[in-house]
Amino acid sequence: MSREAGRRSGRRPGTSGAREQILAAARSAFADNGYDGTTIRRVARAAGVDPALVHHYFGNKRQLFVDAMDLPANPAEIIEGLVATGDPEDLGERMIRFMLNVWDQEEDRAPLVAIVRTAMSDDQAATMVREFATTEILGRIVKAARGDNQDLRMTLLASQVFGLLIMRYIIKLEPLASAHPETVALAMGPTFQRYLTGPISQASSIGASRTERSAPVERSSTNISSDS
C-alpha cells in the first residue's frame, strides 16, 4: 500500500523520464476532466506510454493523484489508520488530530494550501478537489462510520473540514490559527462526531421543547430521518 512519490521515498531515481511524463499528463487530465472522469488508460495515452507502466509506477488512480499533486499523505493509509484503530465514537477527534498533524508541517502544507486556493478561484480545480476529497477521503470515512444519510453527512463533514483548514492555515484567524491541536480536537471533535454518527436531521435537544418536531435526542442516537 506504500507507494510514496519518488521525491519522498527516493525510489527509482533513474526512471524519471517516463515517470515525469506520466505525472505531467496526469496533472492535465485531472485538471481537465476531474478526478472521477480521469482514467489510468487516458493518462497513459496522453503520456504516450502503456497503461501497464502507469500501474507499475503508481499502482492505482488514487496514488497517481497523490503523486501528481505532491500530496503529503496517501488517503487509503489515512482511512485505514483512522477507522481500524480506536473507538468509533472517537473517530471525529482522531480525524482532527491526524489532519492537524499533517497540515501543521509547513513543508507538507504548501502543496495542500496551493490546491485549496486554486479550487476557490477555478471551477475545474474545484471539481477535481471536490471529487477526490469526497470519493477517496471523506466518503470513505463516512461510509466506515456507518451512519444513515451518508451523502448529507459527507457534505456536512466537508464544510467543517474545509472551514477549519481555511481558517487555521489560509485566513489564519487567531486564536484558532495557533491553538494547540488538542484544543482544536476537543472543541471541534463533537461536531465531527455528530456529523459522522450523531442525529443530524431533527430538532436538537436544545430548544426542542418549543417545537413539535421530536422529543429530545441523545447524542449517541443514530435515529435519522432522510429529508434531503
Cell triple for residue 44?
Answer: 497513459
Instruction: Give the residue, chosen from 55, 109, 130, 143, that forms a contact with a second copy under the rule CB under 8 A.
Output: 130
The span from the CA of 223 to the CA of 216, in Å, is 12
Instruction: Give the residue, chosen from 34, 75, 139, 189, that forms a contact with a second copy under the rule CB under 8 A.
Output: 189
SS3 content of the chain, % helix, strand, coil (to 5): 70, 0, 30
Instruction: Give the residue, chosen from 18, 24, 73, 203, that forms a contact with a second copy under the rule CB under 8 A.
Output: 203
Instruction: Give the residue, chosen from 93, 95, 145, 147, that forms a contact with a second copy under the rule CB under 8 A.
Output: 93
- CA-based nearest residue to 58, from 33, 83, 29: 29
Contact 57, 22 (CB under 8 A): yes
Q: Please say which residue, 16 or 159, places its beta carbon nearer to a second copy.
A: 159
The span from the CA of 122 to the CA of 119, in Å, is 5
- Contact range with a second copy by CB under 8 A, out of 4-12, 29-37, 85-93, 103-111: 85-93
For residue 2, state whether it binds a second copy (rule: CB under 8 A): no
Q: Please say which residue, 66 or 188, places its beta carbon nearer to a second copy.
A: 188
Q: Please say which residue, 44 or 116, places its beta carbon nearer to a second copy.
A: 116
In this structure, the number of other CB atoms found within 10 A of the CB of residue 211 comes to 9
For residue 191, state whether it binds a second copy (rule: CB under 8 A): yes
Q: How far is the CB of 60 from a second copy (least distance, A)?
A: 24
Distances (CA, A) of 212 to 186, 201, 205, 207, 227: 32, 14, 12, 11, 17
- CA-based nearest residue to 201, from 164, 160, 161, 155: 155
Window 6 to 65, contacts with a second copy (CB under 8 A): none
User: How many chain residues bind a second copy (CB under 8 A)?
Assistant: 61
Q: What one-character DSSP code corresponds to residue 168? A: I
- Contact range with a second copy by CB under 8 A, out of 33-41, 45-53, 59-67, 119-127: 119-127
For residue 220, state whether it binds a second copy (rule: CB under 8 A): yes
Give the chain's end-to-end CA distance (angstroms, integer).
Answer: 36
Can the peptide bond before residue 175 be classed as cis, meaning omega within 30 degrees of 0?
A: yes
Contact 186, 86 (CB under 8 A): no
- Contact range with a second copy by CB under 8 A, out of 9-17, 32-40, 56-64, 84-92: 84-92
- Give residues in contact with a second copy (CB under 8 A): 87, 89-90, 92-93, 116-117, 119-121, 126, 129-130, 134, 151-152, 155-156, 158-164, 166-168, 170-177, 179-180, 183, 186-191, 193-195, 200-207, 210, 219-220, 227-228
